[in-house]
C-alpha cells in the first residue's frame, strides 16, 4: 500500500471579481462577476514509505492547494487522494492521527502559552499516555533540542525555535508521514541548515516519509531524492535529481585560460557544422564553451580546446539548480 496516492486530483475555486471601469465601484455594489480558477488541473502520483519528496513550483502553481487536500482541509473537485489507503476527506480524524503537518507561515502551537503547554494539549488530543509522551519527547529532543526553551511562551520564540517546536509538535503522535509547507521560509542561513539537518535525521534515522514544499532550492538539493514539479496545476516532472538535470540537458560550462593568445578557427567555418560544443564567450586569454554532458565528454572537449593553444587553467561549472528548475517552469524559447 502506498503511503500517499493521488489519482486524477483536481480543484477549482470560484471567486468574485469586482467590475472595472468608470462606475466599476458602484456597479460592484450591485453585482459581481464570478470567476473560476483551476488551481489544480489533474495530478497523479504516489509516495512510498521512507521517501523524501520535494514538491516545487512557482507561486500559484497549486502546491499549497494540493497539500491542503492531502490533509483534508480542502475537498477535491475531482479525483481522489488516499493517505494510508484512506480518504482524508471522509476519514479526516483517522488520517490526522497518522500524519504530521507543519505550515511554515503559521504555527500550530498555542501562541500565548509556554511551549510545554502545547505539548500537554496535543498529547491529550492524541490520547497519549504520560509515558508515551515523555518517551517521544525525549526522542525528538535529541534531534530538535526544544527543551532549551521549554518554558518560553511561543510568541517570544525566534523563527528557528518556533519551527523546531512545530516539528516536534507535528511528530509527537509519531506519525509515519510528515508534510511540510515551506518550513524554512524567512529563516537565516544558519537556522535553515539546522532544520535541514533535523529533517535529514528524521528521514534517515527515524524512517519518516517526508513531503516538502519549498521555494528554496538548497532545501531540495540537500534533502530530496525525488522531486515533483508542478506548474499551473499540472504535474510537469516527477523523478530523481539526476533525471531532473538530465532532462533539461542544460549545458555544462567549461572555462579555459590559455597561456598565450589562442588561435581560434574561423568563426563562420566553426558554426557552419554541428560541433560537440559551442563557444559561449571569449575574453583575452579566457575562453568559455558550453556542452551537453550527456552527449559529450569533458575530456574530449578539453582535448579539442588544447589544439588551439596551451591550456593553463580549467574550470568546469554545472548549471545552477535554480536555473534548471526555471527551465522546467518556463522553457526558454
Partner 1 sequence: MTWMGICWLLYKMNVKARMQYRLNFVLMTMLASVVTVAEFLGLAVVLNAFGSIKGWSVWEIGYLYGVLMTAKYVYRAFGSAINNFEPYLVNGQLDQLLLRPMPLLLAVITSRTRMVGGELLQSLTVLGVCIARLLSEGRVTPWILPQTLFILATGTVIMFSVGLATAAIGFWITRVEDLSVLTDNATTTACQLPLSLFPDWLRTLLLAVIPFGFINYVPAMHIVKGEWGGWTLPLTGAVAALSLAAALWLWRIGVTKYQSTGT
Partner 2 sequence: MVLWVLAKSMVRSRLQYSASHAVRTAASVIFGMIYVAIWQGIGEQDPLGEYGTEGMVRYIAFNQVILWLTFTQYGLGLEERVRTGQIALDLARPVHLFVFAAGREAGSIAYNAIFTALPLFFIYDWMFGLAAPREPAVWLWTAAALLMAVYSALCIGYGIGVASLWTVEGRWFHLLNYSLNFVLSGFLMPLQWMPDWLQAVARASPYPIFHSVPAGLYMGKAGPDTLLVPFLWCLLLTAGALAATKLVRRKVEVQGG
Asked if 111 interacts with partner 1 (CB under 8 A), we say yes
Strands (E), the chain: 4-17, 33-47, 52-56, 78-83, 99-103, 177-181, 209-213, 226-231, 234-240, 252-258, 278-283, 286-291, 311-317
Q: Identify the helix (H) or strand (E) that includes residue 131.
A: helix 130-144
CA triplet 292, 294, 297: central angle to 5 degrees? 75
Among 38, 50, 126, 159, which residue interacts with partner 1 (rule: CB under 8 A)? Answer: 126
By beta-carbon proximity to partner 1, the closer residue of 9 and 244 is 9
Q: How far is the CB of 65 from partner 1 (least distance, A)?
A: 8
Residue pair 39/21 in contact (Cβ under 8 Å)? The answer is: no
Q: Which of 219, 196, 209 is nearest to 144 (CA)?
A: 196
Strands (E), 143-216: 177-181, 209-213
By beta-carbon proximity to partner 2, the closer residue of 30 and 189 is 30
Asked if 149 interacts with partner 1 (CB under 8 A), we say no
Would you call 11 exposed, middle or buried from its count of C-beta atoms within 10 A (0-12, 13-18, 19+)? buried
Q: How far is the CB of 8 from partner 2 (least distance, A)?
A: 35
By beta-carbon proximity to partner 1, the closer residue of 108 and 290 is 108
By beta-carbon proximity to partner 2, the closer residue of 157 and 211 is 157
Q: How far is the CB of 282 from partner 1 (least distance, A)?
A: 44
Q: Is the dihedral of CA 302, 308, 313, 318 positive or negative?
A: negative
| DSSP-assigned letter for residue 265 | P
Q: What are phi and psi of 46, to 5 degrees?
A: -140, 150
Asked if 101 interacts with partner 1 (CB under 8 A), we say yes
Asked if 203 interacts with partner 1 (CB under 8 A), we say no
Q: How far is the CB of 159 from partner 2 (least distance, A)?
A: 7
Residues making contact with partner 2 (CB under 8 A): 18, 25-26, 28-32, 155-159, 162
Partner whose footprint covers residue 30, from partner 2, partner 1, none (CB < 5 to 8 Å by kind):
partner 2
Distance, CA of 282 to CA of 100 (rounded, Å): 53
Partner whose footprint covers residue 127, from partner 2, partner 1, none (CB < 5 to 8 Å by kind):
partner 1
Among 31, 59, 131, 272, which residue interacts with partner 1 (rule: CB under 8 A)? Answer: 59
> Three-state SS string across 302-315, please?
HHHHHCCCCEEEEE
Q: How far is the CB of 169 from partner 2 (least distance, A)?
A: 17
Among 10, 73, 139, 298, which residue interacts with partner 1 (rule: CB under 8 A)? Answer: 73
Q: Which of 148, 153, 152, 154 is nearest to 166 (CA)?
A: 154
Q: How far is the CB of 110 from partner 1 (least distance, A)?
A: 6
How is residue 112 written as a grid cell?
A: 500565548
By beta-carbon proximity to partner 1, the closer residue of 92 and 200 is 92
Partner whose footprint covers residue 202, from partner 2, partner 1, none (CB < 5 to 8 Å by kind):
none
Q: How far is the CB of 279 from partner 1 (least distance, A)?
A: 42
By beta-carbon proximity to partner 1, the closer residue of 136 and 252 is 136
Distance, CA of 15 to CA of 120 (rounded, Å): 40
Using CB under 8 A as the criterion, which residues of the chain lie in contact with partner 1 when the complex forms?
13, 59-60, 63-64, 68, 71-75, 89, 92-94, 96-97, 101, 103, 105-106, 108, 110-113, 117, 120-121, 124-127, 153
Amino acid at each position: 500500500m502506498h503511503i500517499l496516492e493521488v489519482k486524477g486530483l483536481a480543484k477549482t475555486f470560484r471567486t468574485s471579481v469586482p467590475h472595472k471601469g468608470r462606475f466599476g465601484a458602484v456597479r460592484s455594489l450591485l453585482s459581481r462577476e464570478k470567476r473560476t480558477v483551476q488551481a489544480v488541473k489533474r495530478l497523479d502520483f504516489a509516495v512510498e514509505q521512507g521517501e523524501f519528496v520535494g514538491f516545487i513550483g512557482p507561486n500559484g502553481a497549486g502546491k499549497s492547494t494540493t497539500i491542503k487536500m492531502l490533509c483534508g482541509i480542502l475537498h477535491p473537485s475531482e479525483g481522489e487522494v488516499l493517505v494510508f489507503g484512506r480518504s482524508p476527506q471522509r476519514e479526516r480524524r483517522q488520517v490526522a492521527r497518522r500524519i504530521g503537518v507543519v505550515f511554515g507561515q503559521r504555527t500550530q502551537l498555542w501562541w500565548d502559552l509556554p511551549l510545554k503547554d502545547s505539548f500537554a494539549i496535543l498529547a491529550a488530543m492524541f490520547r497519549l499516555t504520560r509515558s508515551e509522551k515523555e518517551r517521544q519527547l525525549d526522542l525528538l529532543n535529541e534531534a530538535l533540542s526544544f527543551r532549551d526553551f521549554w518554558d518560553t511562551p511561543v510568541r517570544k520564540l525566534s523563527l528557528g525555535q518556533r519551527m523546531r517546536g512545530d516539528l516536534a509538535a507535528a511528530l509527537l503522535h509519531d506519525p509515519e508521514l510528515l508534510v511540510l509547507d515551506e518550513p524554512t521560509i524567512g529563516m537565516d542561513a544558519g537556522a535553515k541548515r539546522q532544520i535541514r539537518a533535523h529533517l535529514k535525521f528524521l528521514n534517515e534515522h527515524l524512517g519518516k516519509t517526508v513531503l516538502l514544499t519549498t521555494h528554496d532550492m538548497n532545501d531540495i538539493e540537500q534533502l530530496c531524492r525525488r522531486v515533483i514539479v508542478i506548474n499551473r496545476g499540472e504535474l510537469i516532472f516527477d523523478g530523481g535529481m539526476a533525471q531532473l538535470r538530465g532532462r533539461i540537458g542544460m549545458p555544462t560550462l567549461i572555462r579555459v585560460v590559455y597561456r598565450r593568445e589562442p588561435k581560434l578557427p574561423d568563426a563562420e567555418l566553426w558554426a557552419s557544422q554541428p560541433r560537440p560544443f559551442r563557444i559561449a564567450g571569449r575574453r583575452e586569454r579566457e575562453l568559455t564553451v558550453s556542452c551537453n554532458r550527456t552527449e559529450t565528454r569533458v575530456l574530449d572537449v578539453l582535448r579539442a580546446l588544447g589544439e588551439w593553444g596551451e591550456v593553463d587553467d580549467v574550470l568546469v561549472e554545472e548549471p545552477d539548480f535554480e536555473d534548471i528548475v526555471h527551465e522546467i517552469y518556463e522553457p526558454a524559447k
